[in-house]
């Protein structure tokens, strides 16, 4: 199979917005988020409708930040964790925009941005939206047990982030997407739905190794290599897997699931997860830092556990996937440039 890194001459995140729940707002990044609701219902009667409302709010906020309206958006790439991505379908129902539904699990933010960058860079669309979300209560009801059951969580379990992130991608802007490497599905026999970090880490390792082999670059050329989201359990496994292959990223590595909660002050076990986790950390925390120039070059990997309620109930192993984006400040986006940071 011929593999290559996708290179984009013109693709940039021109607006990003985030909407979160109570625990995310109380975490270390709380001041970064655009909107939050301590009830986590967002005025809706069900958790599922609340998740859809988060997407609507996030996308509207992204539009408002650049004084745009839906008529300027050519397409939407959106997805979530609910069956058949109904959170996105209902949340974006009122927008008169061509819609592409995605299921990448926790990698959906990266997948949507990859497709947005590809279609904008190729000239098919001028402005594309990428939207995703997750909600702790709706995810627990679908994948594990309803909250009313009161089941005890495993130490390796991650807390599904209640949050939605929305991005607008155009040809020019300060936060450039210059490269992408699509992920390959990897499955290493992990069938514990309470240890998704272990299930996704091999896919992240595969994508990172392929990127550095194909690009000829090294980890030292990036300010940050961030996954979304392996949590503390999966993050340790990823670093160990890469070190065994002779690649040390520990000094420049972080994970959205580690960043969003306070490990000591909030009992989230192995950290955050869910489509909304990497989406809100990227949109609210990382993109502004890149725009200011605090971060010049980052590798952003969306990591997804590609399971379903049926596959879990049948005891199937959990496949993982990791899509990689190279995101940088426009000042440092020179093609073929070598940058040692």
Q: Are residues 195 and 162 in the same domain?
A: no
What is the Cα 122 distance to its own chain's centre? 23
Q: Are residues 66 and 81 in the same domain?
A: yes
Domain end call among 110, 140, 170: 170
- Residue 339 in any domain: the answer is no
- The pLDDT of residue 340 is 42
- The pLDDT of residue 268 is 82
- The pLDDT of residue 111 is 98
- The pLDDT of residue 196 is 82
3-class secondary structure, 249 = coil
- In angstroms, the CA 20 to CA 42 distance is 10
Sign for the pseudo-dihedral over CA of 14, 121, 58, 24: negative
- The pLDDT of residue 46 is 94
- In angstroms, the CA 16 to CA 255 distance is 19
Q: Are residues 228 and 128 in the same domain?
A: no
Q: Are residues 13 and 159 in the same domain?
A: yes
Q: Are residues 314 and 283 in the same domain?
A: yes
Hey, which bits of the chain come out as E strands? 6-7, 12-20, 35-36, 75-79, 99-102, 128-134, 159-160, 163-170, 175-181, 224-228, 253-255, 272-273, 297-305, 320-329
Q: Are residues 165 and 288 in the same domain?
A: no
Q: Are residues 260 and 162 in the same domain?
A: no
Asked if 306 and 319 touch (Cβ cutoff 8 Å), the reply is yes
Which CATH number belongs to the domain containing residue 156 in this structure? 3.40.47.40
Sign for the pseudo-dihedral over CA of 175, 16, 272, 207: negative
3-class secondary structure, 74 = coil
- Residue 111 in any domain: the answer is yes
- In angstroms, the CA 270 to CA 158 distance is 5
Q: Are strands 272-273 and 75-79 parallel, antiparallel or unpaired?
A: unpaired
Work out the burial of residue 171: count CB atoms within 10 Å of its CB; fewer than 13 is exposed, 13-18 middle, 19 or more buried.
Answer: middle
- Residue 340 in any domain: the answer is no
Q: Domain range spanning residue 123?
A: 6-170
Q: Are residues 180 and 326 in the same domain?
A: yes
- In angstroms, the CA 118 to CA 171 distance is 10
- Residue 285 in any domain: the answer is yes
- Residue 208 in any domain: the answer is yes
> What letter does residue 170 receive in the DSSP assignment?
E
Q: Which residues make beta-bridge pairs with 319? A: none
What is the Cα 331 distance to its own chain's centre? 24
**Which of 10, 24, 81, 9 has the alpha carbon at shortest distance from 260?**
24
- Residue 92 in any domain: the answer is yes
Q: Are residues 211 and 100 in the same domain?
A: no
Domain count, the chain: 2
Q: Are residues 127 and 183 in the same domain?
A: no
Domain end call among 115, 139, 170: 170
In tens digits, what is the pLDDT along the chain, a chain of 341 residues? 568 999 998 999 999 999 999 999 999 999 999 999 999 999 999 999 999 999 999 999 999 999 999 999 999 999 999 999 999 999 999 999 999 999 999 999 999 999 999 999 999 999 999 999 999 888 777 666 666 655 666 767 777 899 999 999 999 999 999 999 999 999 999 888 878 889 999 999 999 999 999 999 999 999 999 999 999 999 999 999 999 999 999 999 999 999 999 988 888 877 899 999 999 999 999 999 999 999 999 999 999 999 888 887 898 999 999 999 999 999 988 744 444 44
Asked if 323 and 177 touch (Cβ cutoff 8 Å), the reply is no
Asked if 317 and 193 touch (Cβ cutoff 8 Å), the reply is no
CA distances from 252 to 89, 98, 129, 152, 255 (A): 37, 38, 29, 34, 10
3-class secondary structure, 61 = helix
- Residue 338 in any domain: the answer is no
Q: Are residues 206 and 231 in the same domain?
A: yes
Domain end call among 170, 194, 225: 170
- In angstroms, the CA 298 to CA 279 distance is 15
Asked if 321 and 104 touch (Cβ cutoff 8 Å), the reply is yes
């Amino acid at each position: 199979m011929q593999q290559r890194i996708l290179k984009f001459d013109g693709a940039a995140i021109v607006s990003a917005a985030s909407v979160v729940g109570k625990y995310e707002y109380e975490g270390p990044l709380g001041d970064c988020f655009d909107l939050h609701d301590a009830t986590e219902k967002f005025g809706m009667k069900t958790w599922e409708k609340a998740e859809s409302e988060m997407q609507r709010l996030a996308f509207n906020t992204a539009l408002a930040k650049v004084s745009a309206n839906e008529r300027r958006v050519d397409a939407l790439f959106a997805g979530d964790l609910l069956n058949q991505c109904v959170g996105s379908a209902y949340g974006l129902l009122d927008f008169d925009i061509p819609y592409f539904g995605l299921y990448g699990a926790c990698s959906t933010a990266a997948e949507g941005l990859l497709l947005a960058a590809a279609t904008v860079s190729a000239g098919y669309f001028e402005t594309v939206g990428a939207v995703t979300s997750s909600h702790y209560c709706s995810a627990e009801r679908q994948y594990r047990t309803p909250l009313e059951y009161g089941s005890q969580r495993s130490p390796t379990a991650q807390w599904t982030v209640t949050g939605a992130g929305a991005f607008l991608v155009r040809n020019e802007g300060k936060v450039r997407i210059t490269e992408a490497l699509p992920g390959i599905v990897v499955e290493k026999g992990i069938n514990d739905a309470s240890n998704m970090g272990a299930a996704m880490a091999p896919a992240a390792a595969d994508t990172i190794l392929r990127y550095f082999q194909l690009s000829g670059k090294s980890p030292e050329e990036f300010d940050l290599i961030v996954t979304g989201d392996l949590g503390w359990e999966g993050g340790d496994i990823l670093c160990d897997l890469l070190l065994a292959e002779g690649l040390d990223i520990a000094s420049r590595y972080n994970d959205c699931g580690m960043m969003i909660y306070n490990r000591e002050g909030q009992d989230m076990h192995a950290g955050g997860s869910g489509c909304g986790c990497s989406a809100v950390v990227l949109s609210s925390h990382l993109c502004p830092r890149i725009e200011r120039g605090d971060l010049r070059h980052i590798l952003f990997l969306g990591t997804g556990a590609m399971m379903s309620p049926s596959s879990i109930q049948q005891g199937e192993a959990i496949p993982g996937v990791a899509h990689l984006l190279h995101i940088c400040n426009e000042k440092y986006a020179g093609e073929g440039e070598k940058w040692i940071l």
